[in-house]
Structure 1
Amino acid sequence: MTTYKAIKVADVVPGERVAVFGIGGLGHLAVQYARLVGAEVIAVDLTEEKLELARELGADHTVNAATTDPVQAIADLGGADVAVALAVTPKAFEQAFAALRRGGRLVCVALPPEGDGPMHLPIFETVLKGISVIGSIVGTRQDLAEVFRLHALGRTRVIAESRRLDQVNEAIDDVLNARTAARLVFDF
């Protein structure tokens, strides 16, 4: 529901270009929701495995930010109308902002760990390009009902790995070190 709400508050319309920064538990769903509203989707991540997942889920373009400057790569495509920041570093938020074209919307979703510093936004560029910065958190009961309906219709896929409860410490370590494709689910 979190990324569904992010796509909703960005007012994405068909044909717009949406860049999803961070393909994981939230990002793999953001790719699908952006596609559902008719957007051209750019997936940005640091690992090739997550970018392959994004391609499988319908991303039109992928950018490996570990080897390519995502701002330049997205500019080469014409810039993004919307950038959804799901990676938990201020650098990723700043890259998402810089990848926007005139009139673009930055949707801030991820919450970096405490002490990771502020996000710096250039005032002149924000004003002169008419950029909007939008905070988006979770959603409403109606959003949840819509997400469940889309999933029941087979329009989205949740990618999840099962783990036993006694593997909780390893699971947390895997999530923190980006060694999971998307979501982890504990079996009881």
Structure 2
Amino acid sequence: MPLSAEVPAHALACVYEGVGLPIKLDDKHPVTQPQDLKQGEVLVKLEYTGVCHTDLHIWKGDTPFPVPMPLVGGHEGAGHVVAIGEGTDTALSVGQAVGVKWIADTCSTCSYCMNGADQHCAKAGVSGMLQDGTFAQYMVAAARYVTPIPDGIPLELAAPVLCAGVTTWSALKRTNAKPGDWLAISGASGGLGHLAVQYALAIGLRVVAIDGGDDKRKLCEGYGVDHFVDFRDYKSGAELIDAVKAICDGIGPHAALVCATGGNAYGQAIEFLRARGTLAAVALAANTKIEAEVFSFIGKGLTVAGSYVGSRQDAIEALSFVARGKVRPNVQVEALKDVQSVLERMDRGQISGRIVLKCH
């Protein structure tokens, strides 16, 4: 069994012990040894892991179903293969940089898997929710589902692309927006939003970034958005809706991405979209419903598309933008042990861009 380095028997992992309970920093968490890997598995030494808003939802118990705990959280991992299970048929090699995603594995044979929508596989494993995830120094992953990371991408930048990047890129594709079209992005400076802005600009869309605060304006304008709309400047949602319409030819954008966790962003998007516009729903806002007045909704011929992470191919494409210098995640690196502090700041809305944790 080829190994790039000796694998320790134990290492650090951050464990959710129960909903809302303090996260346990377990520095004696057992590490699966190379000889114990099953066929089809690889052992990944994680170097960085992003922190996603979904991690916060899981920790707080906001999911619509109970999550099995104790559980190692996280699902945006980047690291290196250190061992490959005996008999595994794979092009991966020991020492290769790979990414671990929200979707950990699928059946590969159902109609969704066969048609490029593998994220909807009924048998999919989910990192950091249904099985241990990336808030750890080592983890076992399915060889067929890790994503090779192109040479030249720093791993701290690759990590958030494995969820936030693939999710927003996939959502953009769902809108069918074409170069020159207007796209409104709610929550434009957040972990999802700031990547959505960059992907949209990279394919020639005209972007209206919606968020609040001077720092967030500076970030979005630095990317070259066509307009920044500070929601704090408007006394009501109706005024904000009118402002977005006025910017976009007086009739509204062709498409909208909701990356904001405030539930009112969905209703506003439906109102400001132009006729035949498409809303791609991305952000998971707890206890939120998407509602529309049916006469207006039908009269405008609107489309609402739920967009759930992305496929293996979407992940490859999302990383390629970073490799070509078209997209660069805005990351702040902190220590793995700081994960609870990061989640608490996220819950208070105090984070722009993406926090990435250094695992070693």
What range is the shorter-chain TM-score in?
A: over 0.9
- Structure 1: how far apart are the matches of 2:267 and 2:295? 15
Query: Is contact 1:12–1:34 with CA below 8 Å preserved after alignment?
Result: no
**Cα RMSD between the aligned structures?**
1.2
The reply on whether 1:34 has 2:200 as its aligned counterpart is yes
Q: How does 1:38-187 map to 2 (within 5 A)?
A: 38-68=204-234, 69-77=239-247, 78=250, 79-113=252-286, 116-187=287-358
Aligned length: 186
- Structure 2: how far apart are the matches of 1:63 and 1:138? 26
- Structure 1: how far apart are the matches of 2:275 and 2:288? 27
More RCO (CA 8 Å, sep 6+):
1
Give, as a single letter, the amino acid of the residue that structure 2 aligns with 1:155.
K
Shift of 1:105: 0.6
Report the structure, 1 or 2, having the larger helix content.
1
- Structure 1: how far apart are the matches of 2:351 and 2:172? 24
Unaligned runs of 5+ in 1: none
Deviations 1:68-89 (A, max 9, x none): 2321111111311101011112
The reply on whether 1:25 has 2:196 as its aligned counterpart is no
Shift of 1:165: 2.3
- Structure 2: how far apart are the matches of 1:49 and 1:96? 23
Shift of 1:51: 2.3
- Structure 1: how far apart are the matches of 2:358 and 2:345? 17
Unaligned runs of 5+ in 2: 1-165
- Secondary structure of 1:63 counterpart: strand
Larger Rg: 2
Shift of 1:120: 1.6
TM-score, L = length of structure 2: 0.50
- Structure 2: how far apart are the matches of 1:9 and 1:109? 11
Deviations 1:107-136 (A, max 9, x none): 1111112xx232221111110011111111
- Structure 2: how far apart are the matches of 1:119 and 1:140? 25
Query: Is contact 1:106–1:132 with CA below 8 Å preserved after alignment?
Result: yes
TM-score, L = length of structure 1: 0.94
Give, as a single letter, the amino acid of the residue that structure 2 aligns with 1:86.
C
Partner of 2:73: none
